[in-house]
């Protein structure tokens, strides 16, 4: 098993943190090998942000994402840039507050992550955790409990609760 | 030129963000190639955190750090784990609020990053930016301006100022 996950959006949305949390959940709490990378091209100027995670049964020798099995996207620009690289059996999870999808031959699930974060939790900045909770629920790539622990390890002290609530909000949104 | 930088500490200190900002400064604003990675071993359980950055003139084919030219460490545990891998011409920058160094054959610079962040800015969580500002000042690996822009791209909206002030605080601390 090797899964390539790309999380994308713009700077300040916590894209990187979402990737880090997912990698940590998979490796530390599920026993997989995981590597999370950022490579930065000139397109990152102005604030495009991207976080790639490889989760594998085996050692990850080649940690770059070429064909993301799962693409998470929290900006239109990122959506347009990366949606073409998703294979036909892949999955796109997008923040429907911010992204209008266009590709039709790949499964898409929209989650109004930014809206939910703002309206339900009063904190736009946890939209990343809302969409991560949705991704987990849709893919089962790690257990909820592993994801929760990885969040608790990774977020600033004192913000654990609101981040875990955001995960649950995203999960609930796609279960309904 | 290929420089390997490892930033280490515990979860919630913003270790990963520091690596991301450095990689972005080098790649987006200085035109280098840069890759930032996290690999997660079982030792990450409980919250050890590590962020590796490779900055290079050439494409980064092998993005793993083996012998960090620059080691930044914000916890005693991380210090002890990684200090042995620094080559003799390397540099260790440590948070002297939290770390008591032991190795003597490699250059060390202590910066009371957590204390400065708390006392000067009232915000412990920007200690990562204090130490990053110090690292930049000591190594010149990127310009201050590139680092500042990368910070502004990467931190949550509304927190740019305090993060940039933290960078400056760290730079000033090692200049004096």
ipTM summary value = 0.75
By the 10 Å C-beta count (0-12 exposed, 13-18 middle, 19+ buried), B144 is classed as: middle
Q: How many CB pairs under 8 A join A and B?
A: 94
- Tell me the mean pLDDT in the region B34-40: 88
Q: Could you say which of A28, A40, A154 has the minimum Cβ distance to residue B12?
A: A154
Task: Tell me which chain A residues have a C-beta less than 8 angstroms from the C-beta of B28.
Answer: 40, 42, 44-45
Position A45 scores a pLDDT of: 67
Give pLDDT, residue A42. 67
The answer to whether the predicted template modeling score (pTM) of the entire model surpasses 0.80 is yes
Taking the CA of residue A38 and the nearest CA in chain B, the distance in Å comes to 5
**Cα distance between residue A20 and residue B105, in whole Å:** 33
Q: Could you tell me if residue B99 is left (phi over 0), alpha (psi between -120 and 50 degrees) or otherwise beta?
A: beta
Strand order in the sheet with B70-73: A107-111, A91-95, A70-73, A2-10, A48-56, A33-39, B33-39, B48-56, B2-10, B70-73, B91-95, B107-111
A37, B42: Cβ pair inside 8 Å? no
Quickly name the fold that domain B2-175 has. Pyruvate-ferredoxin Oxidoreductase; domain 3 (3.40.920)
Rounded Cα distance, B139 and B161, in Å: 23
Among A104, A101, A69, A99, residue whose Cα is nearest residue A85: A69
Q: Which of B28, B34, B45 sits opposite A28 (nearest CB)?
A: B45
**Measured in whole angstroms, how far is the alpha carbon of residue B68 from the centre of its chain?**
12
At residue B70, does pLDDT exceed 90? yes
Going from N- to C-terminal start, the domains of chain A cover 2-175
Report residue A20 as tokens.
């880090």
What is the pLDDT confidence band of residue B39, given thresholds at 50, 70 and 90? confident
Cβ separation B155–A12 shorter than 8 A: yes
B24 has a chain A CB within 8 A of its CB? yes
What is the Cα–Cα distance from A71 to B141, expressed in whole angstroms?
Answer: 33
**Using the beta-carbon criterion (under 8 Å), do A16 and B17 form an inter-chain contact?**
yes
B161: helix, strand or coil: helix
Q: In whole numbers, what is the pLDDT of chain B averaged over residues? A: 93
Taking residues A92-119, what's their average pLDDT?
Answer: 98
Within chain B, residue ranges assigned H as helices are 15-28, 76-82, 113-121, 127-139, 144-154, 160-175
pLDDT attached to residue A94: 98
| Per-residue pLDDT, B155 | 87
pLDDT, tens digit, for every residue of A36-91?
998 877 666 667 789 999 999 998 888 889 999 999 999 999 999 999 999 999 99
For B106-152, write each residue's pLDDT tens digit: 999 999 999 999 999 999 999 999 999 999 999 999 999 999 999 99
pLDDT tens by residue, B73-82 = 999 999 999 9
Q: Chain A 48-77, CB below 8 Å of chain B: which residues?
A: 49, 60, 63
**Can you give the pLDDT at residue A153?**
86
């Amino acid at each position: 098993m090797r899964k390539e996950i790309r999380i994308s959006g713009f700077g300040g949305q916590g894209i990187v943190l979402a990737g880090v949390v997912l990698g940590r959940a998979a490796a530390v709490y599920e026993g997989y090998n995981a590597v999370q990378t950022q490579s930065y091209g000139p397109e990152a100027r102005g604030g495009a942000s991207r976080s790639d995670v490889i989760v594998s049964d085996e050692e990850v020798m080649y940690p770059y994402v070429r064909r993301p099995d799962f693409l998470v996207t929290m900006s239109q620009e990122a959506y347009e840039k990366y949606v073409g690289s998703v294979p036909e059996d892949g999955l796109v999870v997008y923040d429907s507050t911010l992204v209008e999808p266009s590709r039709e031959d790949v499964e898409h699930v929209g989650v109004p992550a930014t809206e939910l974060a703002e309206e339900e939790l009063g904190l736009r900045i946890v939209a990343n955790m809302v969409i991560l909770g949705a991704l987990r629920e849709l893919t089962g790539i790690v257990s909820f409990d592993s994801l929760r622990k990885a969040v608790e390890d990774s977020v600033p002290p004192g913000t654990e609760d609101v981040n875990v609530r955001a995960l649950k909000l995203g999960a609930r949104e796609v279960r309904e």
